[in-house]
Amino acid sequence: KAVVRRLIEAFNDGRLDDGAALLAEGYVYRGPAGDMHGPQGWKQLAAMYRSAFPDVVLTIDQQIAEGDTVATRFTARGTHRGELAGVAPSGRYITLPCLMFTRLVKGIIVEDFEQFDQLGMFQAIGKLPAIAASA
Does the domain spanning 2-121 belong to CATH 3.30.360.10? no
Rounded Cα gap, residues 24 and 81, in angstroms: 31
Q: Where are the domains of the chain?
A: 2-121
pTM value is: 0.91
pLDDT in tens, the chain (135 residues): 999 999 999 999 999 999 999 999 999 999 998 999 999 999 999 999 999 999 999 999 999 999 999 999 999 999 999 999 889 999 999 999 999 999 999 999 999 999 999 988 999 998 876 665 555
State residue 97 phi and psi, 5-degree precision: -70, 140
Residue 53 has a CB neighbour count (10 Å cut-off) of 23
Residue type, 90: S
